[in-house]
Amino acid sequence: MKLRTILIMVGALIVLGVAFYFSSRPEPVTPVEPQYFVWNVEMDELQTMSIRLPRLDMGEAWVKHEDNYWYFDIPDGPKVDMKRWGGGIPLLLSGPGANRRLTDTVTDEQLEIYGLSDPTMLIDLTLENGQPINIEVGDSTPDGQTYYIRLENQQNIYTVDYTWFQVLSRLVIDPPYPKPEEE
């Protein structure tokens, strides 16, 4: 009886040990695609920003003054409405994370397909050191979830989230001018 009990206990221990071994094994690591940035600068480095929607013949521009506030870049331009602007716009323009990189050797045919030969949006940034960054945003992808984007005269084409495009185009369509009582 003792031998039989011992054998059952040893068998149970073996089954528990095998179950523990297989249940505690780490999951295989799924490869993570690298995060691409179309451009990447510190938002404090931005000095001027311009967003144009050529297909709508609309555009707005802003400049950062000595007080570190953003103003519309027109003579005696008003300060932007910070309730609508927040701190997020310079952050969005400091460099979007791309959903994916499509190509690093763009052809004229691809520029046409992606809407980059006649961009939907043009963004011109100037850093405090005077360096310009010019961005072209093309059409949306067929599923409408992303937009094609590239740095002007660069060969890489990326996709960025549609919400990034919507926020920036809204700045042009409905600019964050201060309310008359706030001026």
Q: What is the CATH number of domain 36-173?
A: 2.60.40
Give the pLDDT confidence score for residue 3 in this predicted structure: 81
Per-residue confidence (pLDDT) for residue 168, from 0 to 100: 92
List the helix and strand counts (H, then E) for the chain: 5, 10
Quick one: tokens of 98? Answer: 């791309």
In this predicted structure, what is the pLDDT of residue 43? 86
Of 18-27, 38-47, 51-60, 130-139, the least confident: 18-27
* Confidence grade of residue 1 (pLDDT, cut at 50, 70, 90): low
The pLDDT, as a whole number, for residue 22 is 78
Across the chain, mean pLDDT equals 87
pLDDT of residue 177: 87
Q: What is the pLDDT of residues 5-37, one digit of tens each?
A: 888 888 888 988 888 887 887 777 777 767 788
**Mean pLDDT, range 122-132, rounded to an integer:** 95
Read off the pLDDT of residues 130-164 as tens digits, 9 standing for 90 and up.
Answer: 999 999 999 998 998 999 999 988 888 999 999 99
Q: What is the pLDDT of residue 181?
A: 64
pTM of the model: 0.78
Whether the predicted pLDDT of 182 surpasses 60: no
